[in-house]
């Protein structure tokens, strides 16, 4: 039975939850498909995550391998394929708790970087799991700066082989997933040397473990890099190469080749690789950032409707903590952000599909814009979602700290997304570089890509709002965001130029402006997110109260951003102090308004209890019973602690005898 | 030693030891601290495998082994001063919690303060000798913050002269007490007292829960561990359910309230004294915020001096990442914050010591202010440190995410302090209540004293129909004393705004509670501004006490950075109140960046001054010698997944799959 405190929240929903779910999924058919996949996976006991919180690193790894193997079987059984419409839901349903994800990256890199012969040789082996692949790029001493990698591959003309080496400790490959224990092969990125000349970083297929008994190949030292904050199921590994020889044909040579005599040949455009990088960044936004935030919001908001603490009015029952303004102010902006980022993900996907079509026609014009957007949004969304999950965790008080709440593992997993596929600060600086360039172009009247046209059309003036209701007009707040973005970008550009003109070297000037550049890039992404949210709301055709509640969320998202960055908006007087008070008033009003629909709004994410894996966040709201039941299953309760017999008892007895 | 770190240390402009002495409170205390540290570090009994590679159960076992030894050795060495005990304990447990924390920190002290002499005879010595191991069971599954809502009952039965303890609902199960799950055989249980058919509110009872000798739970007691958590692996946080469990009348702690044999209830005289304990424990959290943030800064800053990446100047070798402005902007304000919090922690401790002298003489006049201030500072510092530790970890890139960095452990150990001993938002609202009360006093013509005395300026202001903060403060951005004034004006403005909004809600005929709830976001902001002001003020005041010129210079830079960075992060408040102009804000932002470059040369020396021993720091990235990469490799080789070269899952899963496909 559903806890009455949750049931009552659902009775008063101002919109149809089912219709909102379908709209978020992109149609009723998608919802059906998703539910079918999720159900097939969750019903299968092999994919159970029931005891996950009690497992050791070793057990988690073994389970991930077991699940990965089983998934192959399952996909055959269900007729699912890697290219099928189900695939995006499968990973979501297994909650990423699965091995061999790098195997897929291995296959993708062979397909992208390999010649037709290489593809014909390796891909069938890989898809049959006759080998297990990994992707070894990062080293102990190098992550961000690829040109700095230190692994070497020296071509030996006499034997027609490359000799791979790890010349020093910092050159050891470090972090690649699936490499610590599972992989038999890996794509190693190394500095290519031919006849003593360095040609830069190239990819090589290297076998690291025997296909017979899985023991390490000669010259290979590899292992697991040890415990991390999360990803305990993944065997992130290290790899040291000592005079490892591989045939010439193992260099992936679609774009560059070393010919038998040592001649180095370059061919074709590598721009397509650039596109892959941006694609990876975009594709992680939905599954690795927005979904965890949706889960965290679901857990925290349902729990806040069940948890009662203190009294709002003397003599009454203790109040739901969701009724406290401070609790609303923690959770509801996160909820609005989850929606905002879901919509920005749609926007980016669309943009990329369009870009991809152009690129297939060998038109690379959109690439710089796509790259800038993917970098900036990857950084912005992962950062916001990470802090959102953490806010949800802390909003659940003591019980949020229990692993059984599901929140700590959501948090420790999502924080990794701020680093992998490009460290966020570095990515924001890449976006900033694009913005500065476009700003310069726009100010000299040259054409600029669509997402930055506003830089050319900026108009002076102040915010025209007269009362707090004016701040519920999307035009008013979107323009405010635009104004701030333009101001931060133009003032940083001016600062850069001043420095350069005063004789500071270009790179030095850049480093001295990086703090501002990061702010400018964030402001740009924030503006686009707000604008896109408003436009999405505008376009909603579904009835059933959805447009109205989405409008409230959009307003909340926008005003929350102003409320928490007041200085940016007040700085040049665009908003006056009095207007800022109106923003605050409108913002606080919205909290109380959205509070009424908070539970239906998380229900609409349609996350199953199994996918939440949380004692606090289940649909039925039976929080305390579940917490008690789950705790009893903890291994620590299955036996009297050995520590008592070993340490406590002797101590006590020793004491007793002296007493 | 790594060449980069050697160079950093050689370039420092001050002597690190001198600053260490200041942090410790004198050279003599530094000496004694290191003496105790050496006692622990040189003791083979306290050595063990890296905790990162142990399971939860093994970590618990190590902790309990060390705790048992620790208690013996403390007595053997005759260490009795509370601060020295604290040092010894934190070296033994390397800054982590341990299963006897509640026994030593709550059970024994509560016996001392709330037990009658007769009860002390019965319980204290056995507890002191660890025959009785106790915990303090207050929080329930359904109740933490709101104590009056606790549901556990203790019903007096005059026929047998016993209390009957019950956990009537699932939500009433005691949940979270440390050491309860597996370690303790007694608990001080807080329960609603019922006698002669009436509820007399919460009282404390000594409840035996496990059989002495066998350690089995007693009949009527269900007790266990609450399962895995974010951190606190070594702590057996527990649950406790009682079903008609009877204890003798003499087991109620009766120094203040009493139940007589016939069931007559005798009221306590005053309950203000419990205030004191709360203030004390919250002041410890302020110090803990400083230390935890300092540890994270030490790791991140040393690593940033060792790590090289990308290029700043074309053609030159890869620079230390500490040379990037964005990296400095992440780390140095946190370094300044760590120093600020150290001085605030020391201030509260001293003030508490001074006031508790007055309390013993019956003077409670300063207590409400200290209580309000400590609540807010506890919340402010733990929130900031919590976010700061994560910032440090992120600044270490991918390697920060590995447990070998040590920062994940610092974070998960520290983060519950935002919740325990008073949930932070609730704490901020307590401070706000005091601020609003002070504001109301000023409005009615009274004067207030202490840290809130700036509100007195409001009465002068009243003659003019203006915002309090509309009066012009001429801020000199290079003068800490002037910046204190700016923070003061901001606090005054936000307290006034919150108080006025509260009044407006009341004028709309909202109930008192409703009006309070509708203003609580504003109230929290007001409290934060007040605490921020107090911290800037205390840091600035500390500068005047520093005699060594070189040390004073570097601390002044940090103090300026702390104050200016705080402004640049909250520019809206200062602009809206007209305390600073647009042009000044631009100057502040510029000055922050200049200070980053200035502090850069002393960054490593400033974290060296925290003087954390490598063993205590527990970080491969933050090692004093900077030999990071070699030691990461050594560390990884010990990982449990590397115990065998071919993992068993190869034979179990991989091979069969390859055969089948």
d(CA A267, CA A310) in angstroms, rounded, equals 71
Q: Is A135 helix (H, G, I), strand (E, B) or coil?
A: strand
- Chain A, window 358-417: residues with a beta carbon less than 8 angstroms from a chain B beta carbon: 390, 394, 397-398, 400-404, 408, 412, 415-416
Res B163: pLDDT: 98
- H or E element that contains A440: helix A424-443
Q: What is the DSSP letter of A646?
A: I
Q: Is A606 helix (H, G, I), strand (E, B) or coil?
A: coil
- Chain B, window 341-380: residues with a beta carbon less than 8 angstroms from a chain A beta carbon: none
- Chain B, window 188-217: residues with a beta carbon less than 8 angstroms from a chain A beta carbon: 212, 215-216
Same domain for B249 and B208: yes
Res B465: pLDDT: 42
Q: How confident is the model at residue B81 (pLDDT cuts 50, 70, 90)?
A: confident
d(CA A429, CA A437) in angstroms, rounded, equals 12
In a domain, B37, yes or no: no
Same domain for B248 and B347: no
Same domain for B253 and B292: no
Chain A residue numbers touching B593 (CB-CB < 8 A): 512, 515
Chain A residue numbers touching B571 (CB-CB < 8 A): 566-568, 570-571
Res B438: pLDDT: 95
Same domain for B640 and B501: yes
Same domain for B427 and B283: yes
Contact A648 B419 (CB under 8 A): no
Cβ-contact B460, B492 below 8 angstroms: no
- Chain A, window 68-107: residues with a beta carbon less than 8 angstroms from a chain B beta carbon: 69, 72
Q: What is the distance, to the nearest Å, from the Cα of residue A374 to the centroid of all Cα atoms in its chain? A: 12
Alpha-carbon distances, residue B601 vs A588, B8, B320, B322 (angstroms):
45, 7, 12, 10
Contact B521 A213 (CB under 8 A): no
d(CA A15, CA A301) in angstroms, rounded, equals 18
CB of B45 within 8 Å of a chain A CB? The answer is no
d(CA A452, CA A369) in angstroms, rounded, equals 9
Annotated binding site of B for FAD: 139, 178
Work out how many CB contacts closer than 8 A connect A with B.
358
Whole-prediction pTM: 0.95
Res A311: pLDDT: 86
Interval B193-244: pLDDT, tens: 999 999 999 999 999 999 988 899 999 999 999 999 999 999 999 999 999 9
Residue B314 phi, psi dihedral angles, 5° rounding: -55, 135
Kindly identify which residue of chain A lies nearest to residue B576, measuring between CA atoms: A577
Annotated binding site of A for FAD: 138, 177
Delineate the domains of chain A, giving CATH numbers in brackets: 133-267 (2.40.110.10), 271-649 (1.20.140.10)
ipTM: 0.93
The encoded tokens of residue A355 equal 């870009």
Active site residue B421: yes
Interval B175-203: pLDDT, tens: 999 999 999 999 999 999 999 999 999 99
In a domain, B101, yes or no: no
Lowest mean pLDDT among B51-65, B243-257, B276-290: B276-290
Lowest mean pLDDT among A423-432, B388-397, B457-466, B559-568: B457-466
What mean pLDDT comes out for the span B256-283?
Answer: 81
Res B130: pLDDT: 87
Best of B169, B172, B238, B398 to disrupt the A interface by mutation (most A CBs within 10 Å)?
Answer: B398
Contact B639 A507 (CB under 8 A): no
Cβ-contact A464, A476 below 8 angstroms: yes
Contact B131 A655 (CB under 8 A): yes
In a domain, B36, yes or no: no
d(CA A116, CA A128) in angstroms, rounded, equals 18
> Over 90: is that where the pLDDT of B142 sits?
yes
Q: What is the DSSP letter of A242?
A: S
* Higher pLDDT, residue A153 or B316: A153
> Over 50: is that where the pLDDT of B82 sits?
yes
The encoded tokens of residue A149 equal 């990698």
Residue from B61, B250, B391, B421 carrying the catalytic annotation: B421
- Chain A, window 507-566: residues with a beta carbon less than 8 angstroms from a chain B beta carbon: 507-508, 511-516, 518, 565-566
Residue B569 is part of a domain; what is its CATH number?
A: 1.20.140.10
Provide the b/e sequence for B552-581 (b: ≥16 CB within 10 Å): bebbbbbbbbbbbbbbbebbbbbbbbbbbe
- Which of B268, B301, B330 is a domain's end point? B268
Cβ-contact B376, B336 below 8 angstroms: no
Contact A181 B657 (CB under 8 A): no
In a domain, B659, yes or no: no
In a domain, B125, yes or no: no
Interval B441-496: pLDDT, tens: 999 999 998 899 999 987 555 444 445 444 556 789 999 999 999 999 999 999 99
CB of A294 within 8 Å of a chain B CB? The answer is no
Range of the domain at B556: 1-20+279-445+480-646
Best of A3, A54, A172, A229 to disrupt the B interface by mutation (most B CBs within 10 Å)?
Answer: A229
The CA-CA-CA angle for residues A523, A440, A372, to 5°, reads 50
CB of A331 within 8 Å of a chain B CB? The answer is no
Interval B622-649: pLDDT, tens: 999 999 999 999 999 998 888 888 888 8
Q: Number of folded domains in chain B? A: 2
Chain A residue numbers touching B573 (CB-CB < 8 A): 566-567
- Chain A, window 158-187: residues with a beta carbon less than 8 angstroms from a chain B beta carbon: 169-170, 172, 174-175, 180-182
Average pLDDT for consecutive 10-residue bins of chain A (659 residues)?
96 96 96 96 94 90 92 92 87 87 92 95 93 95 91 98 97 96 96 96 96 94 94 95 98 94 88 80 94 98 96 88 97 98 96 88 88 96 98 96 97 95 95 97 93 88 96 97 97 96 95 97 98 96 87 98 97 95 97 98 97 97 96 82 72 50
d(CA A20, CA A550) in angstroms, rounded, equals 10
Same domain for B554 and B600: yes
Same domain for B225 and B179: yes
Q: How many CB atoms lie within 10 A of CB A576?
A: 15
Residue B635 phi, psi dihedral angles, 5° rounding: -65, -50
First to last CA, chain B: 53
Cβ-contact B572, A580 below 8 angstroms: yes
d(CA A625, CA A627) in angstroms, rounded, equals 6
Q: Is B324 helix (H, G, I), strand (E, B) or coil?
A: coil
Res B652: pLDDT: 83
In a domain, B57, yes or no: no
Q: Is A220 helix (H, G, I), strand (E, B) or coil?
A: strand
d(CA A108, CA A120) in angstroms, rounded, equals 13
Q: How far is A316 from chain B (nearest CA, A)?
A: 12
Annotated binding site of A: 138, 177
Residue B257 is part of a domain; what is its CATH number?
A: 2.40.110.10
Q: How many CB atoms lie within 10 A of CB B59?
A: 19
Same domain for B393 and B356: yes
Same domain for B337 and B237: no
- Which of B216, B242, B268 is a domain's end point? B268
CB of B280 within 8 Å of a chain A CB? The answer is no
Res A297: pLDDT: 98
d(CA A499, CA A84) in angstroms, rounded, equals 54
In a domain, B306, yes or no: yes
Q: Is A173 helix (H, G, I), strand (E, B) or coil?
A: strand
Alpha-carbon distances, residue A90 vs A35, A80, A233, B373, B644 (angstroms):
10, 9, 18, 52, 32
Same domain for B217 and B346: no
Alpha-carbon distances, residue A497 vs A93, B324, B537 (angstroms):
51, 19, 38
Alpha-carbon distances, residue A632 vs B99, B164, B218 (angstroms):
19, 25, 18
- Which of B243, B268, B293 is a domain's end point? B268
Res B273: pLDDT: 56
Q: How far is A368 from chain B (nearest CA, A)?
A: 21
d(CA B320, CA B328) in angstroms, rounded, equals 11
CB of A631 within 8 Å of a chain B CB? The answer is yes
In a domain, B89, yes or no: no
Alpha-carbon distances, residue B85 vs B33, B89, B104, B660 (angstroms):
10, 6, 11, 63
Burial category of A312 from C-beta neighbours within 10 Å (exposed 0-12, middle 13-18, buried 19 and up): middle
Q: What is the DSSP string of B144-186?
A: SS-GGG---EEEEETTTTEEEEE--SGGGSEE--TTTTTT-SE
Chain A residue numbers touching B65 (CB-CB < 8 A): 643, 646-647
Same domain for B415 and B287: yes
Same domain for B512 and B404: yes
Residues of A identified as active-site: 421
Contact A307 B517 (CB under 8 A): no
**Sign of dihedral through CA atoms B360, B362, B366, B369?**
positive
């Amino acid at each position: 039975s559903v806890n009455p405190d949750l049931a009552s929240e659902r009775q008063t929903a101002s919109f149809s939850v089912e219709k909102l779910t379908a709209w978020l999924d992109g149609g009723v058919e998608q919802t059906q498909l998703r539910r079918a996949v999720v159900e097939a996976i969750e019903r299968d006991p092999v994919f159970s995550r029931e005891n996950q919180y009690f497992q050791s690193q070793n057990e988690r790894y073994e389970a991930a391998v077991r699940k990965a193997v089983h998934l192959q079987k399952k996909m055959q059984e269900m007729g699912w394929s890697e290219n099928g419409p189900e695939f995006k839901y499968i990973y979501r349903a297994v909650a990423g708790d699965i091995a061999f994800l790098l195997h897929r990256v291995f296959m993708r890199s062979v397909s992208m970087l390999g010649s037709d012969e290489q593809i014909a040789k390796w891909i069938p082996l890989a898809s049959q799991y006759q080998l297990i692949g990994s992707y070894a790029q990062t080293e102990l001493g190098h992550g961000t700066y690829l040109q700095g990698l230190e692994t070497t591959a020296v071509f030996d003309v006499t034997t027609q082989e490359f000799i791979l080496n790890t010349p020093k400790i910092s050159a050891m490959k470090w972090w690649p997933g699936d490499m610590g224990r599972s992989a038999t092969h890996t794509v190693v990125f190394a500095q290519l040397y031919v006849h003593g000349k360095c040609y830069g970083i190239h990819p090589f297929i290297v076998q690291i473990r025997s296909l017979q008994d899985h023991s390490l190949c000669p010259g290979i030292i590899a292992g697991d890099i040890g415990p991390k904050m999360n990803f305990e199921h993944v065997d992130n590994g290290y790899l040291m190469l000592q005079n490892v020889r591989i045939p010439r044909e193992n260099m992936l040579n679609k774009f560059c080749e070393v010919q038998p005599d040592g001649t180095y040949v370059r061919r074709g455009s590598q721009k397509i690789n650039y596109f892959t990088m941006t694609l990876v960044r975009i594709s992680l936004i939905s599954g690795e950032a927005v979904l965890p935030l949706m889960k965290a919001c679901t857990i925290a908001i349902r729990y806040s409707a069940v948890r009662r603490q203190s009294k709002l009015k003397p003599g009454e029952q203790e109040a739901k903590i969701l009724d406290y303004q401070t609790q609303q102010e923690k959770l509801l902006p996160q909820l609005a952000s989850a929606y905002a980022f879901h919509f920005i993900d749609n926007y980016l996907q669309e943009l990329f599909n369009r870009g991809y079509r152009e690129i297939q026609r060998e038109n690379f014009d959109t690439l710089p814009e796509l790259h800038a957007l993917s970098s900036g949004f990857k950084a912005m969304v992962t950062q916001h979602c990470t802090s959102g999950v953490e806010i949800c965790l802390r909003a659940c008080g003591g019980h949020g700290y229990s692993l059984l709440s599901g929140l700590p593992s959501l948090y420790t997993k999502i924080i990794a997304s701020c680093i992998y596929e490009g460290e966020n600060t570095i990515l924001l600086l890449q976006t900033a570089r694009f913005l500065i360039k476009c700003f310069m172009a726009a100010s000299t009247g040259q054409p600029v890509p669509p997402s930055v046209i506003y830089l050319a059309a900026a108009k002076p003036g102040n915010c025209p709002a007269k009362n707090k209701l004016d701040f519920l007009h999307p035009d008013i707040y979107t323009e405010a965001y635009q104004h701030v973005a333009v101001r931060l970008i133009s003032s940083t550009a001016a600062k850069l130029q001043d420095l350069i003109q005063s004789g500071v070297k270009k790179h030095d000037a850049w480093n001295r402006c990086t703090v501002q550049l990061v702010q400018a890039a964030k402001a740009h992404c924030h503006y686009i997110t707000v604008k896109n949210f408003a436009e999405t709301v505008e376009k909603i055709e579904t009835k059933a109260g959805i447009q109205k509640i989405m409008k409230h969320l959009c307003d909340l998202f926008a005003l929350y951003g102003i409320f928490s960055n007041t200085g940016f908006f007040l700085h040049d007087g665009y908003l006056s102090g009095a207007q800022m008070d109106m923003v605050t008033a409108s913002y606080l009003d919205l909290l109380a308004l959205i509070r009424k629909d908070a539970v239906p709004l998380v229900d609409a994410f349609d996350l199953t209890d199994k996918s939440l894996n949380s004692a606090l966040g289940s649909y039925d709201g039976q929080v305390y019973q579940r917490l008690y039941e789950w705790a009893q299953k903890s291994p620590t309760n299955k036996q009297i602690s050995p520590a008592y017999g070993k340490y406590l008892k002797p101590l006590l007895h020793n004491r007793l005898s002296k007493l | 030693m790594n060449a980069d770190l050697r160079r950093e240390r050689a370039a420092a402009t001050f002597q690190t030891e001198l600053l260490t002495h200041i942090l410790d409170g004198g050279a003599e205390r530094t000496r004694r601290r290191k003496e105790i540290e050496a006692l622990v570090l040189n003791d083979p009994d306290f050595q063990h495998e890296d905790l990162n590679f142990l399971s939860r159960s093994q970590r618990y076992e190590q902790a309990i082994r060390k705790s048992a030894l620790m208690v013996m050795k403390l007595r053997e060495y005759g260490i009795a001063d509370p601060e020295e005990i604290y040092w010894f304990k934190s070296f033994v447990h390397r800054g982590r919690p341990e299963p006897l924390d509640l026994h030593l920190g709550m059970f024994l002290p509560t016996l001392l303060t709330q037990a009658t002499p007769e009860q002390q005879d019965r319980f204290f010595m056995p507890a002191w000798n660890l025959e009785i191991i106790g915990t303090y069971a207050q929080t329930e599954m359904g109740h933490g913050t709101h104590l009056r809502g606790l549901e556990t009952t203790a019903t007096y039965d005059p026929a047998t002269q016993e209390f009957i303890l019950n956990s009537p609902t699932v939500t009433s199960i005691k949940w979270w007490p440390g050491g309860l799950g597996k370690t303790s055989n007694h608990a001080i249980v807080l329960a609603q007292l019922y006698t002669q058919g009436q509820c007399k509110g919460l009282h404390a009872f000594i409840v035996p829960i496990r059989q002495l000798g066998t350690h089995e739970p007693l009949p009527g007691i269900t007790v266990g561990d609450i399962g895995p958590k974010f951190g606190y692996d070594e702590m057996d946080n527990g649950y406790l359910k009682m079903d008609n469990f009877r204890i003798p009348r003499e087991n109620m702690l009766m120094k203040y309230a009493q139940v007589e044999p016939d069931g007559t209830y005798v009221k306590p005289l005053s309950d203000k004294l419990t205030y004191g304990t709360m203030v004390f424990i919250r002041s410890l959290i302020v110090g803990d915020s400083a230390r935890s943030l300092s540890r994270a800064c030490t790791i991140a800053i040393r690593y940033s001096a060792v790590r090289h990446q990308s290029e700043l100047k074309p053609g030159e070798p890869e620079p230390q990442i500490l040379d990037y402005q964005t990296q400095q902007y992440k780390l140095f304000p946190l370094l300044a914050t760590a120093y600020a919090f150290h001085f605030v922690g020391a201030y509260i401790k001293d003030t508490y010591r001074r006031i508790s002298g007055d309390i013993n003489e019956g003077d409670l006049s300063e207590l409400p202010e200290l209580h309000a201030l400590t609540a807010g500072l506890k919340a402010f510092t733990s929130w900031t440190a919590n976010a700061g530790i994560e910032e440090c970890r992120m600044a270490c890139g991918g390697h920060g995410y590995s447990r070998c960095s040590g920062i994940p452990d610092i974070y998960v150990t520290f983060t519950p302090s935002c919740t325990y001993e008073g949930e932070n938002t609730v704490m901020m609202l307590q401070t706000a209540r005091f601020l609003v009360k002070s504001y109301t006093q000023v409005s009615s013509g009274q004067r207030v004293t202490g840290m809130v005395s700036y509100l007195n300026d409001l009465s002068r202001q009243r003659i003019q129909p203006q915002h309090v903060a509309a009066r012009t403060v001429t801020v000199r951005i290079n003068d800490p004393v002037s910046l204190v004034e700016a923070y003061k004006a901001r606090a005054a403005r936000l307290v006034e705004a919150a108080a006025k909004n509260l009044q407006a809600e009341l004028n709309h005929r909202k109930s008192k509670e409703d009006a309070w709830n509708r203003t609580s976001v504003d109230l929290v902001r007001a409290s934060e501004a007040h605490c921020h002001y107090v911290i800037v003020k205390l840091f600035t005041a500390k500068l005047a006490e520093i005699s060594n010129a070189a040390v004073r210079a570097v601390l002044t830079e940090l103090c300026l950075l702390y104050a200016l960075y705080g402004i640049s992060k909250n520019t809206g408040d200062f602009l809206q109140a007209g305390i600073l102009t647009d042009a000044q804000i631009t100057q502040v932002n510029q000055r922050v960046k200049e200070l980053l470059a200035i502090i850069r040369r002393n960054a490593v020396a400033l974290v060296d001054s925290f003087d954390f021993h490598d063993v205590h720091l527990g970080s491969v990235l933050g090692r004093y010698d900077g030999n990071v990469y070699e030691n990461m490799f050594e560390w990884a080789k010990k990982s449990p997944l590397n115990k065998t070269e071919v993992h068993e899952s190869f034979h179990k899963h991989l091979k069969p799959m390859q055969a089948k496909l």
